[in-house]
A and B are shown apart, each in its own frame.
Chain A
Amino acid sequence: MAKESSVLIYGTNLAGYRAAYALCKDGHKVILLNRGRYVDEIKYQALAQLPLDFCWICGHMPQRLFKALGCLTDYYNAELLSVEGEAGNFKVKFKKKDQYVNNFACIECDKCVDVCPVEVDGRKAIVVVPEAGWENIYVVDEENCTKCGKCEEVCPTACIKVERPEETVEADVGAIVIACEFEDPTDEDLADFGAGRSPAVVRNADVAGRSLLTNFVKDSVRLPSGKVPATFAVIVTPHFNRPGVEYENYNLSVTAAYRAAKIKELMPEADVAVFLSDYRGFGKGHYRQYLKAREAGVDFVRAESVEVAPAEGVAVVKYKRGGESESREAELVVLVTGQKAPATMEKITAVTGVEPDGRGFCRLREFSSTETEVPGVFCVGECSGVKGNPETVWEGCALLPEVSEYLGEKNFKPAPPPELRNVNGEVPNVGVFICSCHGTFAERMDLDGLREDVAVLAGVGRAEVVEGCCTPPTMKATAERIKASGVNRVVLAVCTPLQKLLKYRKTVMMGGLSPLLLRLVSLREDVVDVHDDPEKMRTKALALIRSAAEAAKRASQEPLETDAFTSRALVVGGGLAGLEAAQGIAAGGFEVALVERNDHLGGNAAGLDEGQRAYLAELVKRLEENERVKVYKSASPRSAEGYAGNYAVKLDTAEGEVVERFGVVILATGAGDYKPEGFLYGDDGRVMTQRELAEKLAAGEEVTGGVVMVQCVGSRTPERPYCSRVCCAQALENALALRERGAEVTVLYRDMVTYGAEEDLYRSAQEAGVQFRRFDEDAYPTVEAGEKGLAVKLADGETLAAEAVVLSVGVVPERENNEALSAAFGLRLDADGFFDSDANAYPFEEAIKRLTKPFELATNGIYAAGLAHSPRPFEGVLLTARDAAGRAMVMLGKKKMPPPNAVFVAGVKDSLCMGCGVCVDVCPYGARVIDARKKVATVRPFLCDSCGTCVAACPNDASFLRDFTGIQSIAALDAVLA
Chain B
Amino acid sequence: MAKAALMEGSNADLAARDLLKSLLSSGKVRGVMTLVETGPAGEVNYELVADVAALENATPLYPLMPANAGGLLSRLTVLEGFEEPVAAFLRPCELRAFVELGKLHQVNAENILLISATCGGVYPLRASLNGGLADGLPAYWEAVANGEAAEGLRPTCSACEHFVPFGADLVLAAVGSGGAGRLAVVARTPRGDEALEGLEGAAGEAEVETAGVKSLREKRGAARAELFETEPLPAPGLEGLVAFFGRCVGCRSCRSVCPICCCEICYFDAAATEPTPRTFDVHLKRKEGTRVPPDTLLFHLGRLTHMSASCVGCGMCADACPVYVPVATLFAKVGAETQALFEYVPGKDPEEEVPLQRFEEEELAEVGEERFGS
Residues of A within 8 A of B (CB): 909, 911-912, 914-918, 921-922, 930, 935, 949, 953, 955-958, 967, 971, 974, 977-978
Contact = CB atoms under 8 A, between A and B. Distances in A.
Contact of A955 (B78, B272, B356): B356
B282 interface: yes
A956 B263 contact: yes
A955 B306 contact: yes
Interface in B225-263: 262-263
Contacts of A955: 263, 306, 356
Contact of B272 (A949, A967, A978): A967
A921 B278 CA distance: 37
Contacts of A974: 278, 282
Interface string B343-361: 0000000000000111100
Given A935-B79, A955-B306, A914 B359 contact: no
B106 A914 contact: yes
A915 B79 CA distance: 11
Contacts of B78: 935
Contacts of A957: 267, 270, 272
B-side interface mostly: loop
Contacts of A956: 263, 266-267
A912 B267 contact: yes
Contact of B264 (A914, A953, A967): A914
B356 A918 contact: yes
A228 B278 CA distance: 57
Contact of A911 (B104, B264, B356, B357): B264
A912 B270 contact: yes
A698 to B, nearest CB: 53
B262 A921 contact: no
Contacts of B262: 914, 916
Given A914-B106, A935-B78, A921 B265 contact: no
Given A912-B267, A914-B104, A914-B263, 14 more contacts: A911-B265, A914-B264, A916-B105, A916-B262, A918-B356, A918-B357, A921-B357, A921-B359, A935-B79, A956-B266, A958-B267, A967-B272, A978-B282, A978-B285
Contacts of A971: 278
27 contacts: A911-B270, A912-B264, A912-B266, A912-B267, A914-B106, A914-B263, A914-B264, A915-B105, A916-B104, A916-B106, A916-B262, A917-B104, A917-B357, A918-B356, A918-B357, A921-B359, A922-B359, A953-B359, A955-B263, A955-B306, A956-B267, A957-B267, A967-B272, A974-B278, A977-B286, A978-B282, A978-B285
Contacts of B265: 911-912
A935 B74 CA distance: 13
B362 to A, nearest CB: 14
Contacts, number: 54
A914 B71 CA distance: 14
A767 to B, nearest CB: 54
A967 B267 CA distance: 12
Contacts of B104: 914, 916-917
Contacts of B286: 977
Contacts of A921: 357-359
Contacts of B285: 978
Nearest to B305: A955
Nearest to A954: B267
A743 B106 CA distance: 74
Contacts of B356: 918, 955
Nearest to A917: B105
A977 to B, nearest CB: 8
B268 to A, nearest CB: 9
A63 B30 CA distance: 69
A244 to B, nearest CB: 50
Interface centre among A915, A935, A955, A957 (most CB of B within 10 A): A955
A274 B264 CA distance: 63
A955 B263 CA distance: 9
A693 to B, nearest CB: 48
Interface string B62-101: 0000000000000000110000000000000000000000
Contacts of B357: 916-918, 921
A949 to B, nearest CB: 8
B4 to A, nearest CB: 37
Contacts of B272: 957, 967
Contacts of B105: 915-917, 930, 935
Interface string B331-371: 00000000000000000000000001111000000000000
A909 B282 CA distance: 27
B38 to A, nearest CB: 30
A916 B105 CA distance: 5
Contacts of B264: 911-912, 914
B101 to A, nearest CB: 9
A956 B104 CA distance: 13
A955 B307 CA distance: 9
A957 B305 CA distance: 13
Interface string B100-111: 000011100000
B166 to A, nearest CB: 21
Nearest to A911: B265
Contacts of A949: 359
A922 B356 CA distance: 11
Contacts of A930: 105
A931 to B, nearest CB: 12
A914 B105 CA distance: 9
Interface string B7-39: 000000000000000000000000000000000
A958 B270 CA distance: 10
A958 B266 CA distance: 9
Contacts of A918: 356-357
A930 B105 CA distance: 10
